[in-house]
Structure 1
């Protein structure tokens, strides 16, 4: 097969970094287009217009590619979320900033259960461990800023961020609106289904979680 010109004979660290980023970009597009399909190196290579061996120059295997993508998504997610925080914001606005970031960066919440399956299936968990640790560091950095903006006690930001991530993933499972044909539903049933979309399902519990964290002694 013909190889993309920008993938021929890398000559510098910058070029290699650009190739690695291009692979991750294509992998992310694939993931978001078909989140329930098995993620394969061959599909990424075909879409990118390179050979599988070219992918393996930058990633050891499928698991390495997936965990690298996961850490990049996690970094983008938490950095964007923190950029939306400001002094004096209400608890409601804070909760909305989190879930709106999740809507803008769907790959992070999509990949979390996939990564857990990778952990179960992988024979070597060294790089899985590194990826999970890196995500934890991003979340912890965000949590420390959350404490300052919301005027929480020491350690409360970390508990809140952990709870928010888990609540977000639960809200994904509760969101069934996209799975049903809404036109034929009884109005009351339709209203009930819509009340469990991702955003509303998250917000219904997020404010209570913030309130509960505030009432716990640091």
Structure 2
């Protein structure tokens, strides 16, 4: 395959950044469409219309491409989420801001379990460690802001953010309606699968989490 004219070896940092951005954009679209079923360097290259060797000019391997993409979507997620927070918001409004941001950025909620598998399976932990650390720093900064905004106890902001991310990923895993052929099920079971709502499932769990954290915080202060 011929290398696209706009993907020849870049001669400047700006050109290099533009190529990397185009690769990451194609990788994210492929990941969202296939849910990691067809995510490979060859498929990303095919989508862009370039050779695999062109991708390797910018990313050492599939793992580096994935972790770089995860860092990017995580940064966008937390920046957008923080922009939706404001003084005096209720716990319900806070929970809605989180899940609505997750819905807006599906790459973040889909990639987290993918990245955990990449970390487990990779032979080179260095750059993966750096990517995960960077996401952790974004989450920690968001947690400290949340703690102050919602007037939570010391350390509770981090507990909330960690719990919300885990709850979000759990709700995604439970959303099996898109994967099952409900017409082949018993009607009662099919109705239950069709009635599942990812957003409401998250919010019901988030409400219980916030009640528990506030009770714990009040108990510690008494």
TM-score by length of 1: 0.92
Q: Counterparts in 2 of 1:64-213, with a 5 A limit?
A: 64-181=64-181, 189=189, 192-213=192-213
Count of matched residue positions in the alignment of Structure 1 and Structure 2? 218
Q: Is the 8 A contact 2:4 2:49 kept in 1?
A: yes
Q: Is the 8 A contact 1:152 1:214 kept in 2?
A: yes
Q: Is the 8 A contact 2:3 2:54 kept in 1?
A: no
- The offset of 1:187, in angstroms, is 6.9
SS of the residue corresponding to residue 135 of structure 1 reads helix
5+ residue gaps, structure 1: none
- The offset of 1:9, in angstroms, is 3.6
5+ residue gaps, structure 2: none
- The offset of 1:23, in angstroms, is 0.4
1:49-91 alpha-carbon deviations (Å, 9 max, x no partner): 1121111111111100010011111111111111111111111
RMSD: 1.8
Q: Is the 8 A contact 2:182 2:190 kept in 1?
A: yes
Compare 12-21 and 148-157 and name the one that shifted more: 148-157
TM-score by length of 2: 0.91
Cα distance in 2, alignment partners of residues 182 and 34 from structure 1: 21
Q: Is the 8 A contact 1:74 1:135 kept in 2?
A: yes
1:26-68 alpha-carbon deviations (Å, 9 max, x no partner): 0000000101414211111111111211111111111000100
- The offset of 1:156, in angstroms, is 0.8
